[in-house]
Amino acid sequence: MLEFLKDTLDKSVAAVSVKSESIVESSRARTAMTTAQKNIDAAINALGVQFYNSWLSGAVDMPALEAECEKIKELHVEVTNLKARLEQIKQEESQILGVQQKKAEGAAFCTGCGKKLEPGVRFCDSCGTAVKG
């Protein structure tokens, strides 16, 4: 009985550790994505001002405008890569926690908080996470 409790506690601690690491890494990626999106917005506004001012002066500098467009394009690629990283983090977490559930010898643990789940439940009664069946 004591061994079972220790095993359950170990699994819960491991699940919390995985979840915590995922949250931190996801937060970093979301922050970087928000920053990149703000940079895109600022660059687009600056590009518009630059184009308008050069148009007013009668000397539109297309190479300079194209260089600014390339910088904006690179920022869009960065956002796309960060979105892909967020999805990868989510999949890695699911794989790790899913493996832990299978190793629990028939016992299931919540992927949200690591709590042991009763058979047949659809939601964790501790954190409300939907149980994948």
Q: pLDDT tens digits, residue range 91-111? A: 888 777 765 544 445 567 787
CA distance 24 to 38: 21
When pLDDT is averaged across residues 118-125 and rounded to a whole number, the result is 84
Q: What's the pLDDT band for 1 if we cut at 50, 70, 90?
A: low
Q: Which of 87, 113, 100 is nearest to 19 (CA)?
A: 113
CA distance 99 to 121: 19
CA distance 36 to 47: 16
pTM score, whole prediction: 0.61
